[in-house]
């Protein structure tokens, strides 16, 4: 008499196992093709692409949105298991290098060679940054994200100040705003990647892209380049002058602390990725439309780097796992990222696409001026430096980011900073 009950329990247990397996973001073996995306407001663009793809093809693609805070960890854990995603969002560079080393990613060179039109639709330098050791592993999927110096025009007007055009301007502005009782620069010190942006620009302006190229090539002595020390000293000077106020060490960017300081006029400037614009558009629309100013990071006197260079994330990429049971569908799906509808969706959501023909579309952006500024900035940049913590492998990037935090907190001197990095 117990048999039906036992089998019912077994069915229930199996069902439970099934749901937990799917909850883990299953990929291999299931009928659906899993596309992992970093969760944010821009995923609507990829959702549109999946809808069009599913309508055209036999395969069934689904997007798994993974919360941003834990994206890297979740991805790595899944890649080490049998539940790999078929297609996944990444930053290129060091963020996928470990997977390339393990032979887990599908080289995309053949696919690009077979679709010359598709390959030609991206800005070449951006497509180039999806390569590891000369082999293409990533296809651009997002807009470009250069780091821009944002400022609050109302605060500048009140202080009678002009946006900075040289490094001396920056130092003067720090003093001006401190006298006004406004924090000169908002800084989210609890998220050291925001502090890293300062060093990236300073090192590039002072010593050019070659300095970091040597480091990313695996030579940690490259940190001893005089440009790094000089950049660290400039950071220390900014901190001492009160450029970031005195309460930044525990401010978090992801919780919105730093951006709100800028929009409320409690801080005058904020060095941040271009997504800052959409953040303000979302959180403080009036401010974004009326008072949010933006300018390029100023040149440094005597610096070797081209002042037109930019740092940030050239774009984000889709990569494909090579043992995916949906390999052909996945490769087919990638081509949707250059379709007209896809690019139009990006523009409508405030992104600046990395496709060559995007310029004419920018007029449809919610903020055409900003979109054009950003597009030209990237198009005209001789070098686009990928964020250091994404370019370096995680076992170097993690301690590096902590050292940057200590430098900005005044817990280490510029010399100690350089020594610590060279020892990594």
Partner 1 sequence: MTRKSPAGSAPRTGRPGALWAVPGLVYFAVFAALPMALVAYLSLTEWGGLGAPRFVGLDNWARLFDDPLMGKAVWLSLLLTAASWAVQTPIALLLGVWAAGRQRTRAVLSAIFFLPLLLSSAAVAIIWRALLDPNFGPAAWLGPALGLGSLDLLGGSGSAFWVIVFVSAWQFIPLHMLLYQGGARQIPESLYQAARIDGAGRLSMFWHITLPQLRHTITTSSVLMVVGALTYFDTVLILTGGGPGTDTSIVPFLMYRVGFKSWELGYASAIAFTLVLAATVVALLMVRFTGFGSMRSTREGM
Percent helix, strand, coil in the chain (nearest 5)?
Answer: 55, 15, 30
Within a 13 Å sphere around the CA of 188, how many CA atoms are in the beta-carbon half? Answer: 21
8 or 247: whose CB is closer to partner 1? 247
Nearer to partner 1, 176 or 406 (CB): 406
Cβ atoms 130, 366 nearer than 8 A: no
Q: Which window, 138-146, 150-158, 296-304, 404-412, contacts partner 1 (CB under 8 A)?
A: 404-412
Least distance between partner 1 and beta carbon 217 (Å): 20
- Nearest CB to partner 1, comparing residues 3 and 250: 250
Q: Output the CA–CA distances (angstroms, integers) from residue 208 to 193, 298, 380, 405, in the order listed.
A: 20, 14, 16, 23
Residue 385: both structure tokens together: 């430096």
409 binds partner 1 (CB under 8 A): yes
- Between 248 and 297, CB nearer to partner 1: 248
Q: Which residues pair with 140 in a beta bridge?
A: 317
Cβ neighbours, 10 Å, residue 122: 22
- State yes or no: residue 380 binds partner 1 (CB under 8 A): no
**Whole-number minimum distance, CB 58 to partner 1, in Å?**
31
Does the protein bind partner 1 through residue 251 (CB under 8 A)?
yes
Residues 260-299 that bind partner 1 (CB under 8 A): 260-261, 266
Looking only at residues 51 through 90 of this chain, which bind partner 1 when binding is defined by CB under 8 A?
A: 73, 76-77, 79-80
Question: Among the candidate windows 53-61, 156-164, 325-333, 396-404, which touches partner 1 by CB under 8 A?
Answer: 396-404
| Contact call for residue 246 and partner 1 (CB under 8 A) | yes
Binding mask 157-196 for partner 1 (x = CB under 8 A): --------------------------------xx------
The two three-digit tokens of residue 92, written as one number: 């290129």
Closest CA to 375 of 290, 292, 277, 254: 277
Of 405, 414, 417, 418, the residue at the interface with partner 1 (CB under 8 A) is 405
Provide the token pair at 379: 């198009």
- The residue written with tokens 């946006």 in the block is 163
Instruction: Give the DSSP letter string of 301-316.
Output: TT--S-TT-EEEES--
Angle at the Cα of 198 (from 193 to 202), degrees rounded to 5? 140
Contact residues for partner 1 (CB under 8 A)? 73, 76-77, 79-80, 98-99, 102, 104, 189-190, 245-251, 257, 260-261, 266, 394-395, 398-399, 402, 405-406, 409, 411-412
């Amino acid at each position: 008499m117990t048999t039906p009950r036992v089998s019912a329990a077994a069915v229930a247990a199996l069902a439970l196992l099934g749901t937990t397996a799917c909850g883990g973001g299953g990929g291999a073996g299931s009928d659906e093709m899993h596309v992992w995306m970093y969760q944010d407001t821009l995923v609507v663009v990829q959702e549109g692409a999946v809808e069009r793809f599913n309508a055209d093809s036999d395969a069934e693609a689904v997007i798994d949105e993974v919360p941003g805070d834990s994206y890297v960890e979740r991805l790595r854990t899944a890649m080490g298991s049998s539940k790999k995603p078929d297609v996944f969002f990444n930053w290129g560079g060091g963020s996928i290098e470990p997977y390339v080393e393990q032979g887990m990613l599908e080289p995309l060179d053949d696919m690009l060679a077979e679709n010359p039109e598709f390959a030609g639709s991206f800005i070449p330098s951006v497509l180039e940054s999806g390569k590891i050791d000369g082999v293409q592993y990533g296809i651009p999927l997002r807009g470009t994200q250069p780091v821009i110096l944002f400022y609050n025009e109302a605060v500048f007007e009140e202080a009678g100040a002009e946006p900075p055009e040289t490094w001396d301007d920056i130092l003067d502005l720090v003093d001006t705003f401190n006298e006004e009782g406004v924090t000169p620069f908002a800084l989210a010190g609890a998220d050291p990647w925001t502090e890293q942006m300062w060093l990236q620009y300073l090192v590039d302006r002072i010593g050019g892209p070659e300095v970091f190229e040597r480091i990313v090539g695996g030579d940690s002595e490259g940190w001893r380049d005089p440009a790094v020390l000089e950049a660290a000293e400039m950071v220390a000077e900014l901190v001492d002058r009160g450029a970031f106020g005195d309460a930044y060490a525990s401010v978090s960017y992801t919780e919105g602390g730093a951006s709100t300081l800028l929009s409320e006029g409690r801080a005058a400037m904020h060095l941040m990725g271009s997504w800052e614009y959409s953040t303000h558009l979302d959180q403080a629309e009036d401010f974004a439309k009326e008072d949010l100013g933006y300018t390029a990071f100023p040149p440094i006197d005597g610096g070797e780097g081209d002042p037109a260079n930019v740092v940030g994330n050239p774009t984000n990429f889709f990569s494909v796992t090579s043992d995916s049971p949906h390999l052909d569908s996945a490769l087919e799906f990638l081509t949707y990222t250059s379709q007209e509808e896809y690019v139009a969706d990006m523009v409508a959501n405030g992104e600046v696409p990395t496709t060559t023909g995007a310029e004419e579309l920018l007029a449809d952006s919610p903020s055409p001026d900003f979109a054009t500024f950003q597009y030209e900035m990237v198009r005209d940049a001789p070098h686009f430096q990928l964020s250091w913590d994404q370019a370096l492998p995680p076992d170097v990037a993690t301690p590096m980011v902590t050292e940057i935090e200590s430098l900005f907190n005044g817990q280490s001197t510029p010399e100690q900073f350089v020594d610590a990095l060279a020892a990594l």
